[in-house]
Amino acid sequence: MKIKLKKWRDRVMAAGLAVVTGLLASIVFPHLAFAADPSGAETLAQNPQAPVDYVWVLVCGFLVFFMQAGFAMVEAGFCRAKNATNLMAKNTIDFVMASLVFMAIGFAFMMGNDYHGLIGTSGWFLHGANYDVGKYLMFFWQLVFAGTAATIVSGAVAERLKFKAYFLYSLAVAAIIYPIYGHWVWGGGWLAKLPFGVGHVDFAGSGVVHTIGGFVGLAGAIVLGSRFGKFAKDGKPKAIPGHSITLAALGTFILWFGWFGFNAGSTFSAHQLRIAVIAVNTNLAAAAGAAVAILLVFMKTKKWDVGMMLNGCLAGLVAVTAPCAWIEAWAAVVIGAIAGALVVLGVYFWESKGVDDPVGAVSVHGLNGVWGLISVGLFADGTYGLGSTTEPFVKGLFYGGGYGQLIAQAIGAAVCVAWAFGLGFIAFKIMDTFFGIRVKPEEELKGLDVQEHGTPAYPNFYTTNQS
Amino acid sequence: MKKIEAVIRVEKLEEITEVLEKLNCCPGMMITHIEGRGRQKGIVEQFRGREYKVNFLPKVKIEIVTKDSDADKIVNAISKAARTGEIGDGKIFVYSIEDVLRIRTGEKGDIAV
C-alpha cells in the first residue's frame, strides 16, 4: 500500500514538474516574432482612428473596475456590521489576486493561441510578442471582467468563509475557472464554433462573468452550509437583516453606472455606433427588473421592499448583459421584467432548499446569467453581428431565426453552469478537507471583523439587535 | 422625596421636556435610551422579501427626583404629554427616595433636589 502511494505521489510530482518546465520554457524562449508594438506608434500609423477606440475601451474598463466598489457596498449593506471589515477585505483581495494571476497565466489561457478549441496557450506574463499596446488593451479589458466574476462569489459565501479560503479561491477563479470558460466563448474556443445559429454568443458576459460567478458562489454556499440563525430549528428560513440599506443602494447605483461601461464597452470599438442601442437596452432592463421585483414582493407582504428592488435592478442588468447588443428596446424591457421575477422566485427557492446566500448573488448572477444567455436565442433581432455591422447577424426564434441560436445558447448555458458549479465545488471541497473553510462558531457569532482582522468596521458605534 | 421613572416613546421626549419646563417645579432630569417590550411584544420588519420580528423596541427612560409635594404634578404632566392612546405609550413608576446629597455644597434632603 505504502509503495503504491509513493508511486502515485511520484507520478503527480513528475506531471507537475512537466507543467512547470513547460511554462518556464515558454517564458524563457518567447515567440521571437516581433509583431509587437510596445510604443503604439505603428498601431497609430496603420490606423489613425485607433485612439478613439482605445479611449473608449479604457474609459469603459475604468467604469467596470469601479463596479468593484459597487459589489463591496452592496455586500456590506446586505450583511451585518460585525462582518463589514471582512467583506471589504475580500472585495479588495479578489481584485488584487486576479490582477496578478491573470497577468501571469489567466490571460494566456483565455486569449492565447487556441489549442483544439479548449484552451489558450500563449501570452504568459504579458511577455514577448504580447508586449504590445493592442494586447495590453485587451488584457486590461479582460482583467476587469475576471475581477467582476471573482468578486460576485464573496456575497454568497459572506459572514462565514475564512479569509484564507477566499484568498485561495480567488486564485482558482482568475487562473482557471474564468479564463478557460472565457476561452471557449470569447477566445475562439469550441462553444463559439458550435454548429447552431452563429455559434454560442454572449455579448458582454451574462454567462462568462455572471453565471460563472453565481454558480461558483452556489457551490461555496453549499459546501459552507448556512449561517448560524438563518434557519429555525424546524428548518424555516429566517431573515438576517443587513446593516445598511443606504450602502446597498449606493452600491447598486455604482453597479448600474458601471454596467454602462461593462456592456457598451464590449463592442471593443467606439466605431460601433451600436453603443447607443446597448446603453439604452442596459438601462431599460435594469428599470424593468427593479419594478417587477418590488411589485411582486408588495403583492406578497404589502410592503415596498427596497432590498428586493435593488436585487431586481441588478438581475435585469445581469440578464441583459448577453443580449444587449442584439435586441430592441421592448425586448430589453421584457428580459428585465422576467429577470425581476426570477430573482424574487430564486431567493425564495434557494432558501426553501436550505441554501443560505446572504446577498442573493446566486439568484441575481447565476439564474439571471442563464436567462440572459437563453434570451439571446429568443429576442435577437438580426440587425447586428458579432461585434460588427456585417454578417453574420445574430437572430433568435421570435425574429424568424429558428431554433438554431436558441440551441447554441442552451448548450453554452448548460456547460457554463456545470463548469462553474463543478469546479467551484471541487475547489471549496478540497480546501475544506485540508484546512476547513468555515470559521469557528464563536468567531461567526462575534463577527469576522475582530476575530479574523482585528479591526471592527465601526469602532466608535455599538450596534444593537445583533443575533 | 420621590423618584419618577417614566418609560416613553422616543418621539415624545421633546414635548415632555417642554411641558416640564413650563411646570417650573422640575429641578433636573436624566435620559437613557433603552430597548424594551411591554404588551405590544415587538414589531414585524422586512428584509429582502422576508419578514422578521424585532422583539425589543427603542424607548426613552426619564428619571426625575423631586420633592414629595411636586411628584403628582410631574407625573400627571408627563402622562398627559406622553399619551397617544395607542399601544406602546409606556409606563411611569414612582419610588420613595431616602436622601439626596448635592456634591458641590454638601446640602442634603429637599434643598438638594
Q: For residue A349, give the amino acid letter.
A: F
Instruction: Measure the CA–CA gap between A398 and A390, rounded to whole angstroms.
Output: 21
- The full set of domains in chain B, from first to last, is 2-112 (3.30.70.120)
Would you say residue B26 has pLDDT above 60? yes
Say whether residue A238 is in contact with chain B using an 8 A CB cutoff: yes
Of the partner residues B35, B49, B52, the one whose CB lies closest to the CB of residue A238: B52
Alpha helices in A157-229 (DSSP H): 163-172, 178-186, 212-224
- Which residues on A lie below 8 Å from B47 (Cβ)? 239-242, 305, 307
Q: Do A239 and B48 touch (CB under 8 A)?
A: yes
Q: Say what the ipTM of the complex is.
A: 0.71
A182, A187, A190, A192 alpha-carbon torsion, rounded to 10°: 90
Integer angstrom CA distances of residue A331 from A132, A208, A313: 39, 22, 16
Question: What's residue B42's pLDDT?
Answer: 82
> What residues 57-116 of chain A have any CB closer than 8 A to a CB of chain B?
78
Cβ atoms A420, A207 nearer than 8 A: no
Q: Tell me the HSE value of A121 on the side-chain side, using a 13 A CA sphere.
A: 12
pLDDT in 10s for each residue of chain A, 467 residues: 445 555 555 555 555 555 555 555 455 444 444 569 999 999 999 999 999 999 999 999 999 999 999 999 999 999 999 999 999 999 999 999 999 999 999 999 999 999 999 999 999 999 988 999 999 999 999 999 999 999 999 999 999 999 999 999 999 999 999 999 999 999 999 999 999 999 999 999 999 999 999 999 999 999 999 999 999 999 899 999 999 999 999 999 999 999 999 999 999 999 999 999 999 999 999 999 999 999 999 999 999 999 999 999 999 999 999 999 999 999 999 999 999 999 999 999 999 999 999 999 999 999 999 999 999 999 999 999 999 999 999 999 999 999 999 999 999 999 999 999 999 999 999 999 999 999 999 999 999 999 899 999 998 775 544 44
Cα–Cα distances in angstroms (integers) from residue A161 to residues A178, A217, A268, A318, A457, in the given order: 21, 11, 36, 25, 18
Give the one of A300, A351, A465 whose C-beta lies nearest to B54's C-beta: A465
Whether the Cβ atoms of residue B80 and residue B16 lie closer than 8 Å to each other: no
CA distance linking residue A340 with residue B104, whole number of Å: 67
Phi and psi, residue B36, nearest 5°: -165, 180
Task: Please state the length of chain B.
Answer: 113
User: Distance (Å, rounded) from C-alpha A376 to C-alpha A191?
Assistant: 15
> Measured between alpha carbons, how far is A61 from A148 in angstroms, rounded to an integer?
11
**B46/A465 CB distance under 8 A:** no
The pTM assigned to this predicted structure is 0.87
Domain residues of chain A, as ranges?
A: 50-453
* pLDDT value for A16: 55
| Residues A394, A386 contacting (CB under 8 angstroms) | yes
What percentage of chain B has pLDDT greater than the value 70? Answer: 100
CA distances from A414 to A190, A360, B23, B27 (A): 14, 21, 76, 75
Nearest CB to B46; choose among A242, A301, A344: A301
d(C-alpha A365, C-alpha A330), whole Å: 22
Can you read off the three cell numbers belonging to residue A91?
472585495
pLDDT for res B27: 77
A305 touches chain B (CB under 8 A): yes
Dihedral angle sign, alpha carbons of residues A65, A69, A74, A79: positive
Residue B48, SS3 per DSSP: coil
Task: Assign B40 a pLDDT band (cuts: 50, 70, 90).
Answer: confident
Could you give the C-alpha distances from A293 to A307, A311, A379, B34, in angstroms and in order?
10, 8, 22, 36
Q: In B52-63, which positions are buried (b, 16+ CB within 10 angstroms) versus exposed (e)?
A: eeeeebebbbbe
Residue-level pLDDT at B39: 86
How many other CB atoms sit within 10 Å of the CB of residue A212?
Answer: 32
Does A239 contact B51 at a Cβ distance shorter than 8 Å?
Answer: yes
Report the alpha-carbon distance of residue A149 to residue A170 in Å, rounded. Answer: 10
Mutation choice for A interface testing from B48, B50, B55, B59 by most A CBs within 10 A? B48
For chain A, the farthest-separated pair of C-alpha atoms sits apart, in whole angstroms, at 71
pLDDT at A290: 98
Q: Residue A344 in contact with residue A291, Cβ under 8 Å?
A: no
Q: Which CATH superfamily is domain A50-453 in?
A: Ammonium transporter AmtB like domains (1.10.3430.10)
Task: Give first-to-last CA distance, chain B, whole Å.
Answer: 8
Could you tell me which chain B residue has the CA closest to the CA of A243?
B47
Take residue A20 and report the three cell numbers written for it: 512547470
Q: Which of A245, A295, A305, A462 to mutate to test the interface with B (most CBs of B within 10 A)?
A: A305
The three grid cell numbers given for residue A74, joined into one nine-digit string:
452592496
Q: Is B36 left (phi over 0), alpha (psi -120 to 50) or beta?
A: beta
B90 min Cα distance to partner chain A (Å): 21
Contact A362, A346 (CB under 8 A): yes
CA distance A386 to A380: 12
Interface membership of A248 toward B (CB under 8 Å): no
Residue B43 binned pLDDT confidence (cut-offs 50, 70, 90): confident
Distance, CA of A87 to CA of A189 (rounded, Å): 35
Q: Which one, of A152, A137, A125, lies nearest residue A40 by Cα? A: A137
Given A305, A351, A360, which is nearest B46 (Cβ)? A305
- Please tell me whether residue B58 adopts helix, strand or coil conformation: strand
Q: Are the C-beta atoms of A120 and A112 separated by less than 8 Å? A: yes
What's residue A2's pLDDT?
Answer: 47
Distances (CA, A) of A52 to A55, A57, A59, A143, A359: 5, 9, 11, 21, 38
Parallel/antiparallel/unpaired status of strands A393-395 and A381-385: antiparallel
pLDDT of A6: 56
pLDDT at B73 over 80: yes
